[in-house]
Amino acid sequence: MTDRNRTFDTARPPASCTVRLLSLPTVDQLAAAHDPQPAQRRELAIVEVRDADGRSGFGECSALNRPGYTAEWARGAFEHLVESVGCPRSDAPMAAAGVEMARLDLALKATGESLADRLHLASFSAGSRPPSHLSAGIVLPLASIDDTVAAAVRWADVGVARLKLKATPGHLLSVVAAVHDACPWVELHVDANGSCSVEQLAELALLADHGVTAIEQPFAIDDRDASASLVAATAAAVVADESATDLATIIDLVERAVFNGVVIKPGRLGGLADAVEVHDWCVDAGVGVSAGGMLESGLGRHALAALASLPGFTIVGDVSPARRWLANDPFDDLTMINGRISVP
């Protein structure tokens, strides 16, 4: 195991820190079980740190507009970062992740390194090189079957090979079957955001027969028995998302066979260093991992793509351009060609 404290060391503290709250218009909204009527604008807290030589490093707090999916939300994180002078409390992991990203960005600019290279050094895979490209993963919001199929076909036609369908009870097998019939060559994931109950167990178990290779957070966080039953009943990976809050919890869930896959979201875990630690444990345990998106700007999407370049990310994640959701993004976006993302 590498010395992550050394690898993520950002040396001397920055000379100054500025926190901004962005409000970006959206080109589409991600309706999901936890937020069926999302806002028309995406708020994001952005951290900028500067050194004595005038260089700037930027970080993004990926908390959503409203609390619910997590306890943190964008405007609350912004206010907390201002009040804490850029030193967030331990119970604000998403705010802390934004500060870590900014300080790491500043340190990388001073040395001329890429984030992907630094993350590979921090991982068990030290010495390996990041791949040049990743498979893109597009998420489709809750919608009618016809609208979902139309969107799926549009993305499949431009080369995207994995689609994740947001779903709720009563919206599972029918929409999946329709999408699979329309583009059977596309890998499908389903994300229920904890909205299902044991009553949907049989239906969830049938999804693998319709091209579904991963079922993300089908049940509520505390419904471990239903999730373990699904692990035993389906060939699809049953992947922890909202449940994957920290390494100790993830270890317990996997060892109890409640899940056999993990979504890694650096913001929820407290930053990239913790994300790499979870990645390495999952690789050692033979557990597949996926990079989870949070409607980030181009800044956050670059960091997510760099993280997803680690070799343990064997389940295609939510790495796609920020312009999929956002307009007037002040940061450079990811490049996607024929369904492939260039690793920045």
Q: Mind listing the pLDDT tens digit for each residue in 182-226?
A: 999 999 999 999 999 999 999 999 999 999 999 999 999 999 999
User: For residues 69 and 334, which has the higher predicted lDDT (pLDDT)?
Assistant: 334
pLDDT at 11: 59
Which residues, including other chains, have CB under 8 Å from residue 334's CB and lie 6 or more apart? 298, 301, 302, 305, 319, 320, 321, 322, 341, 342, 344
pTM exceeds 0.75, yes or no: yes
Distance CA 269, CA 262 (A): 12
Distance CA 327, CA 222 (A): 37
User: For residues 7 and 139, which has the higher predicted lDDT (pLDDT)?
Assistant: 139
β strands within the chain, DSSP E:
16-25, 41-50, 56-61, 133-135, 138-140, 162-166, 187-191, 212-216, 237-240, 261-264, 288-291, 336-337, 340-342
Rg of the chain over Cα atoms, rounded to whole angstroms, equals: 19
300 in helix, strand or coil?
A: helix
**What angle, rounded to 10 degrees, do the helices at 115-122 and 93-111 form?**
110
Distance CA 228, CA 71 (A): 26
Which residues, including other chains, have CB under 8 Å from residue 30's CB and lie 6 or more apart? 38, 139, 141, 166, 295, 325
Residue 59 has pLDDT above 60, yes or no: yes
Residue 148 has pLDDT above 70, yes or no: yes
Distance CA 56, CA 102 (A): 8
Q: Indicate the pLDDT class of residue 40, thresholds 50, 70 and 90.
A: confident
Nearest to 257 by CA among 234, 238, 281: 238
3-state helix, strand, coil in the chain (%, to 5): 35, 20, 40
138 in helix, strand or coil?
A: strand
Distance CA 59, CA 251 (A): 28
106-120 confidence digits (pLDDT tens): 999 999 999 999 999
Most confident of 2-11, 30-39, 42-51, 82-91: 42-51
Residue 27 has pLDDT above 60, yes or no: yes
Residue 283 has pLDDT above 80, yes or no: yes
Q: Is 52 exposed, middle or buried (0-12, 13-18, 19+ CB in 10 A)?
A: exposed
Q: Are 38 and 50 in contact (CB under 8 A)?
A: no
In the predicted model, what is the mean pLDDT of the chain?
A: 93
Residue 295 has pLDDT above 70, yes or no: yes
255-280 confidence digits (pLDDT tens): 999 999 999 999 999 999 999 999 99
pLDDT at 129: 85
pLDDT at 242: 95
157-181 confidence digits (pLDDT tens): 999 999 999 999 987 899 999 999 9
Q: What are phi and psi of 290, to 5 degrees?
A: -130, 145
Q: What is the percentage of the chain residues whose pLDDT exceeds 70?
A: 95
pLDDT at 318: 96
Q: Indicate the pLDDT class of residue 68, thresholds 50, 70 and 90.
A: confident
